[in-house]
Amino acid sequence: MNFFRGVMGGQAAGPQPSGAETIQKLCDRVASSTLLEDRRDAVRALKSLSKKYRMEVGTQAMDHLINILQTDRSDSEIIGYALDTLYNIICSDEEEEQDESEDENTQKQVDDLGAQFTDHFIQDPEHLTLLLTLLEEFDFHVRWPGVKLLTALLKNQGPQVQGVILVSPMGVSRLMDLLADSREVIRNDGLLLLQQLTKSNAAIQKIVAFENAFERLLDIITEEGSSDGGIVVEDCLLLLLNLLKNNSSNQNFFKEGSYIQRMKPWFEVGDDNSGWSAQKVTNLHLMLQLVRVMVSPVNSPGATASCQKSMYQCGLLQQLCTILMATGVPADILTETINTVSEVIRGSQVNQDYFASVNAPSNPPRPAIVVLLMSMVNERQPFVLRCAVLYCFQCFLYKNQKGQGEIVATLLPSTIDANSISAGQLLCGGLFSADSLSNWCAAVALAHALQDNLTQKEQLLRVQLATSLGKPPVSLLQQCTNILSQGDKIVRRGSKVQTRVGLLMLLCTWISNCPIAVTHFLHNQENVPFLTAQISENLGEDERLVQGLCALLLGICIYYNDNSLENYTKEKLKQLIEKRIGKENFVEKLGFITKHELYSRAAQKPQPIFPSPEEMLFDHEFTKLVKELEGMITKAVHKSSEEEKKEEEVKKTLEQHDNIVTQYKELIREQDAQIQELKEQLSSMTSQNEQMQATMTQQLSQIQQHKDQYNILKLKLGKENQNQGEGSQVNGMQTEELTQLREDVEELRKQNALLQTQLDDKDALINKLRSEASQTAEGSAGRSDSAQLLEELEALRCQLQSQSAELNQVKMERQELLRRAEAGSSNPENDGSMDGAKMAELESRLTTQLTEMGRLKAEAKSSTESRAELEQQLASSTSTVAILQTEKAKLQTAVQESKKEQDDLLILLSDQDQKIFSLKQRLKDLGESVEDEDEDDLDAKDQMDDDEEEEDDDEEED
């Protein structure tokens, strides 16, 4: 209280000395009364006195009112009175009009009084926490005065109150609930509260944004009528600006939430744009500012480009261009719309192309760029509008080489159309008009058409101008230098410094980094003397800037000189500076540019913002060029010819070295690419080789399995052939049966011949099948069946041949017996002369023969049975041959397929071996170590071929 007593002691006594006593009594009643009604009445009385006796109530009653807020929270009426009273003593806005005699000191004391009461209230953070708690009450008499009180606290001591609210649990969320209140007065005052809360506090701005503020605010704007709405729309827009300006996080959240699309309906204007209300103009102005916040050049390039893309896709840019070409739009809205469109298209190729296609609704239609340039070079248009058009043109050409080429093309002789006005014609008209501001704007606009574009700088050298009848045309470059060099006749008339600065900025931009343009400039014999004369003169303050720009232009002629003109080589120009000006003086004059006050102002922002036309001297992009060239020109002027020669030699050496390094780098890149390609091919071949090796291994295993099966079947057939019946031997026969036996033998001979013929046919068929089967791959599926059939037929042939030999032997024995019998009957003498031994021998032989004949008879019978068996086997063999032929057809098909597969496999293996060999040879040439596996593969292959040949030989022998 000592502080407030000191404040009271410094004030003059009021006109009603009883007021302080009355307030003291009321404070005593608030502090000592036990009845709620008495305290309520006392607080109501303090409220009524708080405006007139603000200081007295504040110094004596503030603590008692805060105590009421803590103790009497159950009674909403007394809480409402207490909050209103606190608001009246804290709020610095005086409702009563002050007398004219009151000076500024009195008003300052009033403001300081509100700040002092605010400091006392927020000394204890619990007071603010208590106030935030009271805002949760739905009662109108509590919530509304609480909102107003907190707003007043934020106005007086914003950062301190923001800090307390930020650390308070759910503090910001409680305040965001005010926007959802159904009572408009609370919602509207809640908007004002949030405006004060979000000022210059990024943390609170983020919290408010993530509390769904964008959705609620845009809904309120739509409900209130968008641009046609009232003061509530303005408050919502101001709050949105607070949340988005210089807050990249909220800007990204706004874009990602698709809220840019909801801005398009704001800019829908009708055909009749007359009679706009002041509130609508204010709303649209804020809406345009909100768009510019999202695409401001100070934002990060990525975020700006993303927002520009969204604005084009949702049609917002098209809507802004419609306002741009509409009639009846207020001048300030039109100016701000031009600035907004400028930043929406700046650096965005798609948006710039669309803007180039926009036409004004005139007859005939004209491009929007031409219509805007007409306003820029028209001296009757407002200054701010002309600045906005210049900014729009600069943004259209920013990083837009296509647009730069289109503008320069309108100046070239081959593209000039006499029946229409082009952008180039308007720029030339403004460049040489009598209005200095038009000169400056046209020069800067044309300089932007050449910015960082060597091609257009060279193309612009072709532009020819007709100065007057009867005189030859002159180039645009020469005309610009002629205007500069004409001196007092044209240049220094009135405020022509602006014209000269504009032309010098155009020339510096034009010839910088363009040796051909430097040569054209130096080719005019008057230019260098004019520049040296301007730099060496001792002129006034206003002319210093022109001297600095002339020094910059001459320095560019030195730095970018290719020494193609003998009279104006680098060395001769430097000698001229040293003799006529002096190097130190030249560098000093060059430094006049960056020391100028307007230079620093122009270097801050791309948008040309000037308080008056006279201060419109520097362009933002030109300040970048000066900053880049100043140091290089200073070094170039101070260098001697020997140093330059050395530098050129070093530069050439470095260039040669760089060329050599570049060539080696390219060679290494090519070799790396080839090695990589070979590695990929090797990897592919290796994988293919592995696959083929696996396939070969699998097929070899199958072939081995078939061989094993073949050997098993062969052994099995051999055993069956051994178990067949043995041939019978023919013994002696009875004499009386010789005739019958002869007949049987003759019949058997015929049958044998028939069987022999059939056997020959079967042999031919067997040989044919054997030759076909021998060519079949050992892995074919029908190998085992064919081999078994061949073995059976071979055994049958052998059996028949054995039987035939036995029959022939029997025949020969029978014939011998018959011959002996006949000889014995015809020579009885001989028989009689035989001794007994011979007779005994003959008798024994006859007995033996008779025995043999009996056995032979039995054998003949057995042969007959064998013949029947053979006939049965022959029939079976015939059916087997038919089956074999069917099997043969299938076998041939399988053999052909297997042969084709083997041929393909051999071809693939051959190609693969060849590729592997070539790749290994390349790797060897490149210095890689390669294991030689080809010999092992060839040995394995030769071994396989030898095994197959041995098997074929065995089959032929069999």
pLDDT in tens, 686-731: 888 888 888 888 888 888 888 888 888 778 777 666 655 433 333 3
User: Which stretch of DSSP H or E encloses residue 215?
Assistant: helix 213-223
Q: Are 236 and 290 in contact (CB under 8 A)?
A: no
Amino acid at 398: Y
Q: Angle at Cα 291 formed by Cα 287 and Cα 296, nearest 5°?
A: 140
**Confidence class of residue 14 from pLDDT cuts 50, 70 and 90?**
very low
User: Which stretch of DSSP H or E encloses residue 360?
Assistant: strand 359-360
Enumerate the CATH 1.25.10.10 domain ranges in the chain, comma separated.
Answer: 212-357, 402-639
**Confidence class of residue 663 from pLDDT cuts 50, 70 and 90?**
confident
The three-state (H, E, C) secondary structure of 164-196, written as one string: HHHHCCCHHHHHHHHHHCCCHHHHHHHHHHHHH
Q: Are 596 and 424 in contact (CB under 8 A)?
A: no
Q: What's the confidence (pLDDT) of residue 238?
A: 96
Q: Is the pLDDT of residue 830 over 50?
A: no
Q: Is the pLDDT of residue 188 over 60?
A: yes
Q: Which of 366-380, 437-451, 540-554, 898-912 has the lowest mean pLDDT?
A: 898-912
Tokens of 526: 């008057």
Amino acid at 51: K
- Whether omega for the bond prior to residue 364 falls within 30 degrees of 0, making it cis, is yes
Report the alpha-carbon distance of residue 52 to residue 61 in Å, rounded: 14
Torsion angle defined by CA atoms of residues 295, 298, 303 and 308, in that order, rounded to the nearest 10 degrees: 20
Q: What is the mean pLDDT of residues 556-575?
A: 90
Core vs surface per residue 153-164: b (16+ CB within 10 A) or e: bbbbbbebbbbb
Looking only at the bridges linking them, the beta strands covering 359-360 and 474-475 are unpaired
pTM over 0.85: no
3-state helix, strand, coil in the chain (%, to 5): 75, 0, 20
Q: Are 497 and 537 in contact (CB under 8 A)?
A: no
User: Which stretch of DSSP H or E encloses residue 150?
Assistant: helix 140-156
Core vs surface per residue 173-202: b (16+ CB within 10 A) or e: ebbbebbebeeeebbbbbbbbbbbbbeebe
Residue 309's φ and ψ, nearest 5 degrees, are -65, -45
Report the alpha-carbon distance of residue 114 to residue 610 in Å, rounded: 38
Q: Are 458 and 517 in contact (CB under 8 A)?
A: yes
Long-range contacts of 433-436 (CB under 8 A, 24+ apart): 433/377, 433/379, 435/377, 435/379, 436/494, 436/495, 436/496, 436/498, 436/499
Q: What is the mean pLDDT of residues 937-944?
A: 52
| CATH architecture for segment(s) 212-357 | Alpha Horseshoe (1.25)
Nearest CA to 502 out of 392, 617, 607 is that of: 617
Residue 465's φ and ψ, nearest 5 degrees, are -120, 140
Q: Which of 76-90, 306-320, 761-775, 814-828 has the lowest mean pLDDT?
A: 814-828
Q: What is the mean pLDDT of residues 152-158?
A: 91
Core vs surface per residue 494-530: b (16+ CB within 10 A) or e: eebbbbbbbbbbbbbbbbbbbeebbbbbbebeebbeb
155 contact partners, CB below 8 Å, separation of at least 6? 92, 196
Beta-bridged to residue 464, according to DSSP, are 475
Q: What is the mean pLDDT of residues 240-255?
A: 94
Q: List, in sequence order, the alpha helices (H) in 326-382.
A: 331-345, 349-357, 368-376
**Confidence class of residue 845 from pLDDT cuts 50, 70 and 90?**
low
Q: Model confidence over 871-890: pLDDT tens digits? A: 676 666 666 667 767 767 77
* Residue labelled with tokens 């805007």: 372
Core vs surface per residue 731-764: b (16+ CB within 10 A) or e: bbbeeeebeebeebbeebeeebeebeeebeebee
Q: Are 888 and 769 in contact (CB under 8 A)?
A: yes
CA 794 to mean position of chain CA atoms: 80
Q: Is the pLDDT of residue 895 over 60?
A: yes
DSSP assignment letter at 637: H
Report the alpha-carbon distance of residue 260 to residue 248 in Å, rounded: 15
Average pLDDT, the chain: 79
Does domain 402-639 correspond to CATH entry 1.25.10.10? Answer: yes
Neighbours of 348 (CB within 10 A): 25
Q: Are 586 and 536 in contact (CB under 8 A)?
A: no
Report the alpha-carbon distance of residue 480 to residue 186 in Å, rounded: 65
Report the alpha-carbon distance of residue 424 to residue 407 in Å, rounded: 6
- Highest mean pLDDT of the ranges 103-107, 310-314, 464-468, 770-774: 310-314
Over pLDDT 70: what percentage of the chain?
72
Nearest CA to 420 out of 471, 363, 473 is that of: 363
Report the alpha-carbon distance of residue 319 to residue 267 in Å, rounded: 6
Q: Which of 357-361, 696-700, 913-917 has the lowest mean pLDDT?
A: 913-917
Q: Are 118 and 54 in contact (CB under 8 A)?
A: no
Q: Is the pLDDT of residue 823 over 60?
A: no
Neighbours of 857 (CB within 10 A): 19
Core vs surface per residue 412-446: b (16+ CB within 10 A) or e: eeeeeeeeebbbbbbbbebbbbebbbbbbbbbbbb
Q: What's the confidence (pLDDT) of residue 926?
A: 75
**Confidence class of residue 194 from pLDDT cuts 50, 70 and 90?**
very high
